[in-house]
Amino acid sequence: MHGLDTYDYGARQHDPILARWDRMDPLCEKYYNISPYVYCANNPVKYIDEHGDSLSLSGSEDDVNLTLRVYNQGLGGYYSVNADNNGILSLSAVEGKNEREMSSSQKAIYDVLNRVINGKGMATIKIENGTNILIGDINSFTIDIGDINAIGTGSDISSISVLAHETYEEYLVQTSMKGKTESIINAHEKASGVERLITGSYLDPLDRSISNGKMRISVLGPNNDIKKTVYIHIDKSNNVIGVTR
């Protein structure tokens, strides 16, 4: 445009004549072991970076793998979520599977993962297990995958619905809502909407309380009346030990 003749990759401009970026990667501080001027970790044959951003997970290999396992169980084998050596996630279709056969829940899970993995903005989620963090802490960008995995399966709340909630919430706070007032509350409400698409049940995003080792969550009906109550049981170390649905 106007004789500039560079390729617009969103995060950076690339000069095809010099075969160079015209500026440093704005997210280079997240990858201090890689030159700030390289593309796709200097391996463009293996990786693609459409917008110059991504979603990544940090934590132990076992905890990251457990997180990926929960994601992939929710996708039902139609799509696969994987992490490279830097924890950067990718989402790909599974060969031989017809995505039109996906359930509404699986489609909702795919939609939110596609949005945070391939959308605009860079987010990093810290994966812990067995800590005193209850499910997730938006201030430190951390989730406890042990708590999430302990929630198990269920019609109103499940491991994948909670993980999708936490993933989308972290993504919103770190990207589109960064620096905005009341961003955490807004992100939490939007993430609760994602849970609703996955399970079909609307868990009250604000009216939640903890007492006597239990977190009480109201399941709302079509008129925002309390349809039923779900209890997440917690031990003294803030670890989830079960759910009463």
**Secondary structure letter of residue 133 according to DSSP:** S
Q: pLDDT by residue (tens digit) across 126-143?
A: 999 999 999 999 889 999
In a domain, 7, yes or no: no
Task: Give domain status of residue 20, yes or no.
Answer: no
- State the DSSP code for 94: P
Statement: residue 50 has pLDDT above 60: no
Q: What domain range is 91 assigned to?
A: 55-244
The answer to pTM > 0.85 is no
Q: Over 90: is that where the pLDDT of 44 sits?
A: no
The answer on pLDDT for 52 being more than 60 is no
| C-alpha distance across the termini of the chain, in Å | 59
Residue 106, domain member (yes or no) = yes
Buried b (16+ CB within 10 A) or exposed e, 80-107: bbebeeebbbebeeeeeeeeeebeebbb
Query: Would you say residue 124 lies in a domain?
Result: yes
Task: Give the model confidence (pLDDT) of 90-118 as tens digits.
Answer: 999 999 999 999 999 999 999 999 999 98
22 within domain boundaries: no
Classify residue 9: in a domain, yes or no.
no
Q: In this structure, is residue 179 part of a structural domain?
A: yes
Residue 34 is predicted with a pLDDT of 75
Instruction: Report how many domains make up the chain.
Output: 1
pLDDT at residue 24, as a whole number: 84
Residue 188 lies in a domain: yes
Who has greater pLDDT, 28 or 163?
A: 163
Q: What is the mean pLDDT of the chain?
A: 89
